Amino acid sequence: MDDVSQMKHASGIGRRPVLRGLLGGAAALGAPLGAPAVHAQEPVTLRYLGLGVNQSQAIAQRCKEETGITLEYTTGVHEDIVRRVVTQPSTFDLVDTDFSAVRQLMPSGNMAGIEVKRVKMAERIAPLFTRGEVAGRRIGDQGSAPKKTAFLTGVRSKGFATGPTEWMSLIPINCNGDTLGIRPDLIGRSIGSWAELLNPEFKGKAALVNSPSVGIMDAAMVAEAIGKVTYADKGNMTKAEIDATLGLMTEAKRAGQFRAFWSDFNESVNLMGSGETVIQSMWSPAVTKVRSQGIPCVFQPLKEGYRGWGLGLGIPRTLEGRKLDAAYDFINWFLSGWVGATLLRQGYYPSVPETARQQMEPYEWAYWMEGKPAERDVRSPAGVVVEKAGTVRDGGSYEQRMGRVACWNSVMDENAYLIRKWNEFIVA
């Protein structure tokens, strides 16, 4: 990525242009972005707490080279990050987390609202995050859709605004629509529904992600698909709906349906790559990694749609002075193109697609974003061939995939009850 120059408010941009951009979606890019402004001041280190999706040595090295900022990574699962933010806000300088976590983080008072006018690319953030729209059409928003918790009423707000304001809880950085990963070579037939996760045909060969806010939504997609549970809003279940959903999953678990409940990216890759599982909750880049090993694996589009998620960068209220300025510099650098292109080559969708496009070859963009057959072999950020020429991305284009999101990772009103019942399910 290549631009951490002065913030927009320094050049006189005011509130109306910023909000007009957020309301109107991504604006057309003008001239190519300039070279990054490397810090001439004293060195600064940002302690970066995150889920690991957007953390890599390559990103840290590039950031250091182009901004002078050193990143010090701490990685944890969703529950670890929430606990750290709520109880130890002085132990990190940036948090990279799911928008589903925001309902737990902001009420603590430990997160500061992010000043939109200091975010250079705010006007170009995809409307999926700000309005819940793809190609001008509203998509499913059951669960913690980013638009529900993206905007705040002020810098110290503990609640959320109903539309765009000058303050955001997190600055969106990437998203995806998740579905089931399958081993077509070991299954030998087409898979078209979430219901297949509980098909006895795959007894002992299925897996589910072990995270209450994520796994419960996958479980709900399954329960709804097989007609066992009807939800008023599966993104905000009642206790009775939680009981019915996890009761179904517990019954399947005791019958031996599940091989595992995975907790991290590499575990999901190893399960599928080894053939221990043939169908499971999966993330797009995990499928890509399995395929990069020469093993058939498909990120399977399903008739009921995808479970969406969106990540963003947040700032703790304890940050001030030089580190606060550096945090905004890092956010601007992150959105300016190079990281977005790197993440897109792994299967994630960047929040500012246009800047990522400037850092990609036309054939790459056509494959990853437009759903067109690859004109040449498609390579990962490390240069490994992950798709052969002629391949079409699973699920097609960005509009086809994200346009079919049915629900999102969710933190519900009955979250404490859900966590207790989820833990009972896992140990049943």
pLDDT above 70 covers what percent of the chain? 90
Residues with Cβ within 8 Å of residue 251, at least 6 apart in sequence:
none
- pLDDT tens for 284-299 read 888 988 988 889 999 9
Mean pLDDT of 93-100: 96
d(CA 84, CA 92): 9
pTM of the model: 0.87
pLDDT at position 32: 41
Give domain 178-307+378-427's CATH number out of 3.40.1000.10, 3.40.50.880, 3.40.190.10, 3.40.30.10: 3.40.190.10
Residue-range domain boundaries for the chain: 45-176+308-367, 178-307+378-427
For domain 45-176+308-367, the CATH class is alpha beta
pLDDT band of residue 274 (cuts 50, 70, 90) is: very high
Q: Residues 126, 308: contact at Cβ < 8 Å?
A: no
pLDDT at position 284: 85
- pLDDT tens for 336-387 read 999 999 999 989 999 999 999 999 999 999 999 999 999 999 998 989 888 9
Q: Residues 160, 154: contact at Cβ < 8 Å?
A: no
pLDDT at position 215: 95
Look at residues 269, 232, 226 and name the one whose alpha carbon lies nearest to residue 248. 226
d(CA 60, CA 130): 28
- As a whole number, the mean pLDDT across the chain is 90
Number of CB atoms found within 10 A of residue 192's CB: 12
pLDDT at position 159: 87
Mean pLDDT of 20-48: 53
pLDDT at position 43: 86
Q: Residues 22, 164: contact at Cβ < 8 Å?
A: yes
Q: Is the pLDDT of residue 19 over 90?
A: no
- pLDDT tens for 384-423 read 888 999 999 999 999 999 999 999 999 999 999 999 999 9
d(CA 117, CA 10): 9
pLDDT at position 384: 87
Q: Is the pLDDT of residue 92 over 50?
A: yes
181, 186, 191, 196 alpha-carbon torsion, rounded to 10°: -80
pLDDT at position 76: 87
pLDDT at position 264: 84
pLDDT at position 41: 59
Q: Is the pLDDT of residue 213 over 60?
A: yes
Instruction: Please check whether the two domains, 45-176+308-367 and 178-307+378-427, share a CATH topology.
Output: yes
Mean pLDDT of 156-176: 94
What's the Cα-to-Cα distance from 363 to each of 307, 349, 385, rounded to whole Å?
27, 16, 14
pLDDT at position 2: 34
Q: Is the pLDDT of residue 12 over 90?
A: no
236 phi and psi angles, rounded to 5 deg:
-150, 70
